[in-house]
Structure 1
Amino acid sequence: MEKKDQIKVYVLMLSKEFPKEHPKAGEQTGFKEKLELALKAQQQLEDCPPASGMMKVHTIRTNLERWSRIIQKVQEGKAVISVRQWNGRPYEKGNVQVELFRLGKDDGIGMQALSVMEYTDSEDGVERAVYCIDGKPMPMLTMKQIAENDGLAVEDWKEWFTGMSFVESLPIIHFTKFRY
Structure 2
Amino acid sequence: MKKVNLVISRKFPVKHPRAGQTTGLLDKLLKGTKIHTIRDNIGYWEEKIAKVNAGEMYISAKIWLDRPYKSPQQEMRRFTKAGLQTIEMDYQNGRLSVRIDGRKYTELETLAGNDGLSLEDFIGWFFSNGRTHYKGAIIHFTEFRY
Q: TM-score, normalised by structure 1?
A: 0.72
Residue 74 of structure 2 is matched in structure 1 by: 98
Residue 170 of structure 1 is matched in structure 2 by: 136
1:38-88 alpha-carbon deviations (Å, 9 max, x no partner): 1xxxxxxxxxxxxxxxx2111111101110000010011111000000001
Does the 8 Å CA contact 2:37/2:139 hold for their aligned counterparts?
A: yes
The aligned runs of 1:76-95 (5 Å cut-off) are 76-92=54-70, 95=71
- Please give the alpha-carbon distance, in whole angstroms, between the structure 1 residues aligned to 2:131 and 2:145: 23
Identity %: 41
Does the 8 Å CA contact 2:5/2:59 hold for their aligned counterparts?
A: yes
- Cα gap change, 1:155 to 1:127, in 2 (>3 Å): closer
Residue 28 of structure 1 is matched in structure 2 by: 22
Q: AA paired with 2:73?
A: Q
Higher normalized strand content (fraction of residues): 2
Does the 8 Å CA contact 2:40/2:137 hold for their aligned counterparts?
A: yes
Aligned mate of 2:100, from 118, 128, 133: 133
Does the 8 Å CA contact 1:115/1:132 hold for their aligned counterparts?
A: yes
Residues matched between the structures, number: 143
* Partner SS state of residue 161, structure 1: helix
Does the 8 Å CA contact 2:90/2:132 hold for their aligned counterparts?
A: no
1:119-168 alpha-carbon deviations (Å, 9 max, x no partner): xxxxxxx9976532212334xx322111111101111111111134536x
Q: Which runs of 5+ in 1 are unaligned?
A: 1-6, 39-54, 119-125
Does the 8 Å CA contact 1:131/1:142 hold for their aligned counterparts?
A: no
1:67 and 2:45 are equivalent in the alignment: yes
Q: Which runs of 5+ in 2 are unaligned?
A: none
Does the 8 Å CA contact 1:74/1:81 hold for their aligned counterparts?
A: yes
Larger radius of gyration: 1
Q: CA deviation at 1:21?
A: 1.1
